[in-house]
Structure 1
Amino acid sequence: MAHDHSHSHVDENQSDKQLTVAVVINVLLTVAQVIGGVFSGSLSLIADALHNLSDAAAIFIALVARKIGNKPADTTHHFGYKRAEILATLFNSSTLILIGVYLIFEAISSYLNPQPINGWIVVWVAAIALVIDLATAFLTYRAGANHSINIKAAFIHNVSDAMASIVVIIAGTLIILYQWYIVDLIATVLISLYVIYHGILLLKQSCKILMQAAPSNVDTDAISHAISNEFNIESVMSIKLWQLDDKENYCELIISTQHVIDLAAVKSFLHDNFKIENCIIEIQSITNKSLI
């Protein structure tokens, strides 16, 4: 067992290093894209740069959240510190939406006041961005995209960034060949809408968790029928579900029965079949009421 723990610790340290490298190269890429966008006059390049910056922030949050989430519960934080990541997601998703809206307004302004664009700078910077996006996607995948929903989200974002870089390369090529400057504005709007879309998804998910909404992947009727059949429960009077973070589901359950119920077995059943980490179970009967 000691060997397994040590191996896990080494893997996590290696994963942290990979995520740190991914953050650094994304920040450097953002700087390069902003400089390239300013010198070329390409707004789509700046739009892609801001998207890359948001991805660097997402990776950084995943890295910090892993550290904070490992802190144990204490006398003031009885559930621990796992929701620090949700608060950061709320902030970042709101920023994503604001950035997307701002870029759309800038695209309209640029259309009304057109400026010349250096297509070669756009193509070369976007090509460099494509290589770095693919490298970052590889790093985030190796860092545990198959085991962590947060790192998986960062991985998907970097893959989408690579797709956005391809769009910018196409826009730059059309500018070089045909002087179709409007393509840059169209690419800006498309990237901005994509940023806004993912910002809204993240905002909704974080708000649902903070408002203690029931997890969308857990069916209360299925829970009720399953435990009634498995443990000979006459009635499931109330089921309240909420999420501590984007992985852990919690439950408060009120049941009515005249039989002796093994509460530890009920909790194990809920954990194994519905991924509920912890459940408070109250038993109500004619002769007895107990809270476990």
Structure 2
Amino acid sequence: MSEQKPPPDCTAPDVAAPGSAHAHAHAHGLAHDHDHAGHPHHEHHSDMTTADSRRRVALAAVLTGTFMIAEVVGGVISGSLALIADAAHMLTDTGSLLLAWLGYKLGERPADAARSYGFARMKILAAFTNGILLVILAGWIVWEAIHRILEPVEIMGGVMLGIAAGGLLINIIAFRILHGGDTDDLNLKGALWHVAGDLLGSVAAIVAAGIILWTGWVLADPILSVLVAILVAFAGIRIARQAGHILLEGTPPGLEPAAIIADLTAHVPGVAKVAHVHAWALTESRPLVTLEVTAAPGASAEQLRRDVKARLAHTFKVSHATVEVLTSAE
């Protein structure tokens, strides 16, 4: 992007009418108010939400990591691919949940001279990584299932059923813990889908074990594993696409430049022209906008700046915007 973006916790000075010292001083004062009166409640709410999500992810990591050991042992003893695949999924889940937790911790670090935005995007990077891991894991399960279909192995349905039932219970608890968090948090959503994949894996293992015990048809194990893998892959692709869009500074939904230009031109008095609109997001809940507004003849540059920011906050839910105001002469 050609224009320099402002730090997340400070508003870049806007250009008021040239030669007006009063307007410049007033604009500077308002920028100060924006930082210390406009953001604290939003930032405090964001911090509380992040802390809650971090605790939920940590607890889910402990649960999945602990039961993973039991599934590995049960899968080896019973010969079940569904259990081994679910254990492998739980292994990646534990690592992914720890990665998500690390993303939250690093995201709390303050901005510095080298990183004006701080580490807020670490949780988006963690979500993107988790999405890719889900797709890789699904591919591995399908690959193993193909081998099992071509070369069926003996499976102990009783052991498989017992371990899978225990895994289902643990996954339900972990899922409920994560599902109670912020539904807009991509990092938490990535962790949630990892656990959801485990939950589906446990269900598949239980169904496969029941079929094997009832009919002796061992191919139910790899076939059901493939079905779960497909669902997991779709979830991974979706999360990776959403996180990747943010990392590439794509336009957030509802903040298309054309829509912003049309709205400001139609509803803010004194706007003659809106140009150079750029909208992106630091995280999924922190949209940022920069734009240039040309004031109509006779309009107050400072009042126009305030009205534009108020409109962006009210209509588009943008709490941080940099608005440059030009007079018609400029």
Give the TM-score band, short-chain normalised. 0.7 to 0.9
Q: Relative contact order, CA 8 A, sep 6+: which one is greater?
A: 2
Instruction: Give the residue type in structure 2 aligned to 1:180.
Output: W
- In the other structure, the counterpart of 2:76 is 38
Which of residues 47, 50, 53 in structure 1 aligns to 2:88?
A: 50
Q: CA RMSD, aligned part only?
A: 2.9
TM-score (norm 2): 0.76
The 5 A counterparts of 1:143-222 are 144-145=181-182, 148-155=185-192, 157-159=194-196, 161-222=198-259
* Alpha-carbon distance in 2 for matches of 1:29, 1:90: 25
* Alpha-carbon distance in 2 for matches of 1:103, 1:236: 52
- In the other structure, the counterpart of 1:3 is none
Residue 322 of structure 2 aligns to a residue in which SS? strand
Shift of 1:219: 3.7
Shift of 1:252: 1.7
Residue 319 of structure 2 aligns to a residue in which SS? strand
- In the other structure, the counterpart of 1:274 is 316
Residue 320 of structure 2 aligns to a residue in which SS? strand
Shift of 1:244: 0.8
* Alpha-carbon distance in 1 for matches of 2:179, 2:81: 30
- In the other structure, the counterpart of 2:162 is 124
1:140 to 2:182 alignment: no
TM-score (norm 1): 0.85
Cα 1:20/1:281, change in 2 over 3 Å: same
Cα 1:49/1:273, change in 2 over 3 Å: farther
* Alpha-carbon distance in 2 for matches of 1:55, 1:246: 22
Could you tell me whether the CA contact under 8 Å between 2:124 and 2:186 is conserved in 1? no
* Alpha-carbon distance in 1 for matches of 2:242, 2:77: 38
Instruction: Give the residue type in structure 2 aligned to 1:266.
Output: V
- In the other structure, the counterpart of 2:97 is 59
1:27 to 2:61 alignment: no
1:93 to 2:131 alignment: yes
- In the other structure, the counterpart of 2:18 is none
Cα 1:62/1:275, change in 2 over 3 Å: farther
- In the other structure, the counterpart of 1:240 is 278
Shift of 1:197: 1.2
Instruction: Give the residue type in structure 1 aligned to 2:218.
Output: Y
- In the other structure, the counterpart of 2:300 is 260
Cα 1:59/1:121, change in 2 over 3 Å: same
Could you tell me whether the CA contact under 8 Å between 2:134 and 2:194 is conserved in 1? no
* Alpha-carbon distance in 1 for matches of 2:74, 2:55: 29
Cα 1:13/1:266, change in 2 over 3 Å: closer
Instruction: Give the residue type in structure 1 aligned to 2:230.
Output: L
Q: Which has the larger radius of gyration?
A: 2
* Alpha-carbon distance in 1 for matches of 2:49, 2:293: 43
Q: After alignment, is 124-133 or 229-238 more displaced?
A: 229-238
Write the deviation string for residues 219-265 of structure 1: whole angstroms up to 9, x where unpaired. 43332232223322122223211111222111121222222243234
Cα 1:54/1:203, change in 2 over 3 Å: same
Instruction: Give the residue type in structure 2 aligned to 1:274.
Output: F
Write the deviation string for residues 140-164 of structure 1: whole angstroms up to 9, x where unpaired. 245x345745335534553453343
Which structure 1 residue ranges, 5 or more long, are not aligned?
Answer: 1-5
* Alpha-carbon distance in 2 for matches of 1:122, 1:25: 20
- In the other structure, the counterpart of 1:230 is 267
Could you tell me whether the CA contact under 8 Å between 2:280 and 2:288 is conserved in 1? yes
Which structure 2 residue ranges, 5 or more long, are not aligned?
Answer: 1-43
* Alpha-carbon distance in 1 for matches of 2:50, 2:199: 26
